[in-house]
């Protein structure tokens, strides 16, 4: 049976919730079918699992217990999000920690491919820009796979953020002490420009990315040794104070084999040194690209604070990836919704407005259903009357 979000299959239907999930309805039709791994039938199919996770992030629930309580007690959640027979904590935990990852990856990749056609395309003249960074997730001691240091458990998300459309792109999950730099080649596609902070400085990787046809704009340490090949003219009255083609590092130790462009600029008395292989842009454009890197920091902060993504409802690595992917899907759905209905970027004001609309629509439908039922009950005694 194909997956579907049928707006007619529940009593308390909220049009705004259906508008929010509209972009993934066609993707559900082609999603891999979620199968039970034993003789017992599924207590929660993928449609309900996905809707429950979207609802979790949308409503800023702080725990799995709060979500389960809402699925059993909140009129909208019970009627339109939860399975028809309800869901128990044990069944929900089993579903999150062991099922749905393949289906969520399919939905995420499909939505990621669709979203750029639905959202504004900024900075087109700068090419495809992807900011890359990692973010730690506090784990509990029972999460033995999440190695970090003695007395502490953490997982780490390695994320690419599409700066042109302000949405996440590729994502990987590891233990907290995993190195972030090897993931650059996995996140970037040929022709894209990775935008990174100083931690990602690696001269060997600068050569590797160029050989792979992947571009970079990466801040480096001011003390890095530079062997100048060619100096470029410095614009007058500009934030740029340095622009040259160089080899970075110490010869026969860690020097780059391929030349890179090094741009220096100053903002608020802070000097930035940025290495890049983008020889086609002006120095001011290189500075702008690096300034855009902060968009991924803003995303992580907003995502954590307002969608409660890092409030764990899963303990396994599998389950945490399920939770994170659902959080990314929710964010992209909100980005599309806010643009289509308000011509704005995602904001907590619009998210709260959407929550309230869903609640109000549910109340309105509930009152209408009650009115219809009352009319029917009043009409029943006369239905068999003789005339």
Q: 25: Cβ–Cβ under 8 A, 6 or more apart, which residues?
A: 4, 5
pLDDT digits (tens, 9 = 90+) for 248-285: 999 999 999 999 999 999 999 999 999 999 999 999 99
* CA neighbor of 325 nearest in space, from 24, 74, 8: 24
Q: 10 Å Cβ neighbour count for 375?
A: 10
Between the CA of residue 159 and those of 10, 81, 134, 168, 272, what are the distances in Å?
Answer: 36, 29, 6, 7, 23
In the structure encoding, which two tokens stand for residue 238, read together?
């500009």
**Measured in whole angstroms, how far is the alpha carbon of residue 134 from the centre of its chain?**
13
Question: Is 378 a residue whose pLDDT tops 60?
Answer: no
d(CA 173, CA 134): 9
Q: Which sign, positive or negative, has the C-alpha torsion 205, 207, 210, 211?
A: negative
Query: Over 80: is that where the pLDDT of 7 sits?
Result: no
Tell me, what's the pLDDT at 1? 40
Which residues, other chains included, contact 50 with Cβ-Cβ below 8 Å and sequence gap of 6+? Answer: 24, 28, 100, 103, 104, 107, 326, 329
Tell me the C-alpha distance between 210 and 191, whole Å: 10
Q: What pLDDT is recorded for position 373?
A: 44
5 or 168: which carries more pLDDT confidence? 168
Q: How confident is the model at residue 386 (pLDDT cuts 50, 70, 90)?
A: very low
What pLDDT digit, counting tens, does each position of 13-26 carry?
A: 789 999 999 999 99
More confident residue, 384 or 317: 317
The pairing of beta strand 129-138 with beta strand 193-196: parallel
pLDDT in tens, 100-119: 999 999 999 999 999 999 99
Percentage of the chain surpassing pLDDT 90?
Answer: 63
Mean pLDDT of the chain: 87
165: nearest Cα among 368, 287, 341, 336: 336
- pLDDT at residue 377, as a whole number: 45
Q: In percent, how much of the chain has pLDDT > 70?
A: 89
Give 385's contacts (C-beta < 8 A, 6+ positions apart).
none
Q: What is the pLDDT of residues 28-58, one digit of tens each?
A: 999 998 877 656 677 788 998 999 899 888 8
| CA 290 – CA 216 distance, rounded (Å) | 10
pLDDT value at position 86? Answer: 82
């Amino acid at each position: 049976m194909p997956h579907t979000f049928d707006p007619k299959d529940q009593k308390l239907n909220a049009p705004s919730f259906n508008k929010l999930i509209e972009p993934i309805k066609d993707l559900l039709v082609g999603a891999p079918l979620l199968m039970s791994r034993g003789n017992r039938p599924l207590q929660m199919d993928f449609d309900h699992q996905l809707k429950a996770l979207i609802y979790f992030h949308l409503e800023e629930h702080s725990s799995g217990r709060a979500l389960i309580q809402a699925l059993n007690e909140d009129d909208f959640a019970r009627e339109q999000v939860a399975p028809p027979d309800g869901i128990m904590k044990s069944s929900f935990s089993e579903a999150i920690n062991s099922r749905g990852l393949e289906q969520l990856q399919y939905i995420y990749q499909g939505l990621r491919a669709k979203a750029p056609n639905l959202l504004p395309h900024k900075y087109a003249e700068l090419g495809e820009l992807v900011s890359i960074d990692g973010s730690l997730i506090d784990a509990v001691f029972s999460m033995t796979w999440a190695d970090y240091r003695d007395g502490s458990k953490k997982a780490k998300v390695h994320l690419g953020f599409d700066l042109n459309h302000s949405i996440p792109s590729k994502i990987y999950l590891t233990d907290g002490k995993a190195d972030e730099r090897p993931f650059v080649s996995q996140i970037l596609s040929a022709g894209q420009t990775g935008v990174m902070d100083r931690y990602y400085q690696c001269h060997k990787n600068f050569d590797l990315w160029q050989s792979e046809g992947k571009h970079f704009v990466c801040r480096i340490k001011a003390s890095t040794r530079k062997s100048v090949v060619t100096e470029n003219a410095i614009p007058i009255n500009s934030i740029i104070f340095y622009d040259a083609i160089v080899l970075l590092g110490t010869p026969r130790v860690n020097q780059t084999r391929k030349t890179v462009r090094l741009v220096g600029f100053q903002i608020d008395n802070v000097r930035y040194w940025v290495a890049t292989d983008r020889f086609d842009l002006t120095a001011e454009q290189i500075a702008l690209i690096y300034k855009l890197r902060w968009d991924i920091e803003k995303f992580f902060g907003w995502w954590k604070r307002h969608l409660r993504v890092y409030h764990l409802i899963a303990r396994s690595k599998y389950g945490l990836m399920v939770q994170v992917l659902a959080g990314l899907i929710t964010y992209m759905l909100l980005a599309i919704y806010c643009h289509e209905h308000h011509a704005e970027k995602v904001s907590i004001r619009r998210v709260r407005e959407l929550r309230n609309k869903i609640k109000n629509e549910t109340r309105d439908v509930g009152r209408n259903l009650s009115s219809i039922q009352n009319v029917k009950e009043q009409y029943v005694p006369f239905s068999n009357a003789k005339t």
